[in-house]
Amino acid sequence: MTELSKNNIAKTVKQLRKKMGISQEKLARFADVSNNTIINIEAGKQNNPTIDTLKKIAKALNKPIENLIK
């Protein structure tokens, strides 16, 4: 995954989460992933989030996965 796409995913997840008014911990619970996963994705430190993880996050945010990986 390129640095640019990691940064786009990080920024998008954070923006959508904040728009929903929920914490990283709450998003992690909704998406059934660890809180550290959300923290690392938003910080751009998650090198290769799996498509399954991104699908779970997108579903928790009520958005199609395409919105995360644009």
pLDDT in tens, 20-40: 999 999 999 999 999 999 999
pTM exceeds 0.85 for this model: yes
3 pLDDT band (50/70/90 cuts)? low
Predicted local distance difference test score (pLDDT) of residue 56? 97
More confident residue, 68 or 4: 68
List the helix and strand counts (H, then E) for the chain: 4, 0
Predicted local distance difference test score (pLDDT) of residue 31? 98
Instruction: Judge contact between 58 and 65, C-beta under 8 A.
Output: yes
More confident residue, 23 or 69: 23
Report the CATH number of the 3-67 domain: 1.10.260.40
